[in-house]
Amino acid sequence: MAENLDKYRDQLYSNIKTGNPNYSRKDFDLNFKTQKFFDSFVNTILTNKKDKPNSHWGQIVANDKGTFYRTYACDMPWAVNSNYCVGSTPTPTPPPTVSPNLEDYDGAYKIDGIVYFETANINYDKDNPNSLEISFYENVDNITKLNGVEKTIWDNIQKYSVIELKYVNINKKFEMYLGNTQIDGDFVFEDKNKFKFSINLGFKKLEGTGVRKSSSTPTTDTTVKKKKDTTLPVEKKKDKIPVVRTNTLHFNNDKKTYVATKKCDDFPFTLGCSNKLIGDLNASLFNGDRMNDVYSDELQNTLDNSGSFSIRDNPNMEITKDIWSKLMNMKIIKETVKKVLKEYIIKK
Please report, for the chain, the start and end positions of each structural domain, with discontinuous segments joined by +: 6-73, 103-226, 261-348
Inter-residue contact 219 to 108 (CB < 8 Å): no
CATH class of this structure's domain 103-226 = mainly beta
Q: How many CA atoms does the CB half-sphere of 159 hold within 13 Å?
A: 12
Task: Kindly tell me if the per-residue pLDDT of 117 is higher than 70.
Answer: yes
Judged by average pLDDT, the poorest of 30-44, 214-228, 291-305 is 214-228
Greater confidence, 288 or 195? 195
How confident is residue 171, by pLDDT bands cut at 50, 70 and 90? Answer: low
Inter-residue contact 70 to 55 (CB < 8 Å): no
Task: Kindly tell me if the per-residue pLDDT of 68 is higher than 80.
Answer: yes
In this prediction, residue 22 carries a pLDDT of 86
In this prediction, residue 240 carries a pLDDT of 39
Q: How far is CA 116 from the centre of its chain?
A: 20
How confident is residue 310, by pLDDT bands cut at 50, 70 and 90? Answer: confident
CA gap 45, 53 in Å, rounded: 11
In this prediction, residue 96 carries a pLDDT of 45
Task: Kindly tell me if the per-residue pLDDT of 104 is higher than 80.
Answer: yes
Average pLDDT, the chain: 76
In this prediction, residue 327 carries a pLDDT of 85
Give per-residue pLDDT as tens, 336-348.
545 555 555 565 5
In this prediction, residue 138 carries a pLDDT of 78
- Alpha-carbon distance values, 293 to 134, 190, 237, 268, 273 (Å): 17, 33, 18, 15, 8
Give per-residue pLDDT as tens, 223-266.
343 433 434 444 444 443 343 433 434 333 443 334 446 778 88
Task: Kindly tell me if the per-residue pLDDT of 177 is higher than 50.
Answer: yes
How confident is residue 292, by pLDDT bands cut at 50, 70 and 90? Answer: confident
Greater confidence, 297 or 31? 31
Task: Phi first, then psi: give them for residue 90, nearest 5 degrees.
Answer: -65, 145
Judged by average pLDDT, the poorest of 22-26, 77-81, 240-244 is 240-244
